[in-house]
Structure 1
Amino acid sequence: FAGYSSYAPSKWALRGLADCLRNEVRKNRVRNGGLTERVRSSSASSRSLPGPPQLLGTGVICSVAYPPDTETPGYAHEEESKPAICRAVNAALGSELFPSHKVARAIVRGVQRRDYHIAGPDLGQNLLVDFTAGIAPGALPGVFSCLMQPVVWLVLAALRWRADAAAKRCNS
């Protein structure tokens, strides 16, 4: 949304990196549980050359947390210089400020459960994260997610309209 052009692309880049790492480092059929080497054969000779190492089967868990607006000193400082367009869009979307202990508890719980997309205390944001999960595991239980998809699509369309209208009013 308007006003978040420095934050949103970097968050999506982290999400893309996490999508790749999740698939690369998760436990798979390699059973040695550590660093493995790929071996290439040379057509010029019968000897094999070691290839670049791959992190396969390490059991490393990769997660992405999506904390909502959180009551912290950093957020209070951000509020002092937040552009008017950000305030307008946040107001149009009904942005809620969450206590830091609730956000921290949700993130720790997600890490303990080994979740990929770590759900926070904001159900609306969790539905949005789940809606954009792609082929990665979602943030919410599968059946619930499937049943909610049509509703979420309609809600997102309405929110998009509200955010666009708020930005337009602020820019005119």
Structure 2
Amino acid sequence: NLRRAKQVAVVFLLLLWRSSYRRYAVTGGSSGIGKCIAIECYKQGAFITLVARNEDKLLQAKKEIEKHSINDKQVVLCISVDVSQDYSQVENVIKQAQEKLGPVDMLVNCAGMALSGKFEDLEVSTFERLMSVNYLGSVYPSRAVITTMKERRVGRIVFVSSQAGQLGLFGFTAYSSSKFAIRGLAEALQMEVKPYNVYVTVAYPPDTDTPGFAEENKTKPLETRLISETISVCKPEQVAKQIVKDAIQGNFNSSIGSDGYMLSSLTCGMAPVTSITEGLQQVVTMGLFRTIALFYLGSFDSIVRRCMMQRAKSEVADKTA
């Protein structure tokens, strides 16, 4: 037991040392997962650049984050900008932040939004908006820091996708598309920057109890809501802690919970692996997880059919009334 305690202490001190006095930038950092990630990093001694659109929410988040400092040298810098609209503006504010705090060691792309609805019911502008916020909102900040990271031969970029970026679900034709795009970006970028000792982590959080999730639920189709209810909702603190842990440990993939682990193994494809052990686990578990997944898919299809039948009965009843 004493030996085990010493090992745990060594690991904790190593993680603490690796993040202390590091400079982390977090987009979408004024609320939800982004704010919790900033808090988690601040607890470990990091300097934080907090990026979001709403200045009032940024200042409120800054106050919350500063309560978790471990030394008086830490700084939280707030930048109000829409990371999905104008690349030159994003590049400029990131440059200003790096002039104040120094070059960014880790960028966490957490800015995003979710809108759901049946494919033919969604406006074309919804697809454009989600692709802009979720995809380009990750491209622009990453593009703004990548050159400096390559020059310094150090850095990590974290992309926050979603479990909806691993499988498509009813009502998520616009949302899933934008989150799948993040995975493609992350995998291609990892291959480009790895020779420069710059690495990528892509996270796939499940439904998480955030203000954005509450807003999303207001317009969810019945089918989408029933499918989502088959999996429990996570706390943002839990998700943030896992993402930060995986990023600091150097993992390409970050998943939350047993469902997340299964999904990541099932959808690994040609994704990079962090270790031989990880690759072997994927090979060994693939058959079992695929079998389990088929039951999930059958259940989801059943939900969609039931909703369709109920809707048809209601329409008939309305006509005969």
Report the structure, 1 or 2, having the larger helix content: 2
| Residue 8, structure 1, aligned to residue 8, structure 2 | no
Q: CA deviation at 1:111?
A: 0.7
Q: Deviations along 1:91-144, whole A, 9 cap, x unmatched?
A: 3xx211011110000000111011111122x21122111211112235883343
Identity rate of aligned residues, in percent?
A: 29
User: Which consecutive unaligned segments of at least 5 residues does structure 1 have?
Assistant: 28-57
Superposition pairs of residues 71-110 of structure 1, within 5 angstroms: 71-91=209-229, 94-110=230-246
User: Which of 13, 17, 32 does residue 185 from structure 2 map onto?
Assistant: 17
Superposition pairs of residues 51-66 of structure 1, within 5 angstroms: 58-66=196-204
Runs of 4 or more off by more than 6 Å in structure 1?
none
User: Which of 243, 247, 253 does residue 117 from structure 1 map onto?
Assistant: 253
Equivalent in the alignment of 2:266: 131
Amino acid at match of 1:66: Y
Higher relative contact order (CA 8 A, sep 6+): 1
TM-score by length of 1: 0.74
User: Which consecutive unaligned segments of at least 5 residues does structure 2 have?
Assistant: 1-168, 310-321
| Residue 155, structure 1, aligned to residue 292, structure 2 | yes
SS, match of residue 82 in structure 1: coil
Q: How many residues align?
A: 139
Contact kept, 8 Å, 1:69 with 1:97, in 2: the verdict is yes
Equivalent in the alignment of 2:205: 67
1:83 & 1:138 partners in 2: Cα distance? Answer: 36
Report which stretch shifted further, 75-84 or 162-171. Answer: 75-84
1:98 & 1:90 partners in 2: Cα distance? Answer: 12
Q: What's the RMSD between the two structures over aligned residues?
A: 1.7
TM-score by length of 2: 0.41
Equivalent in the alignment of 1:26: 194
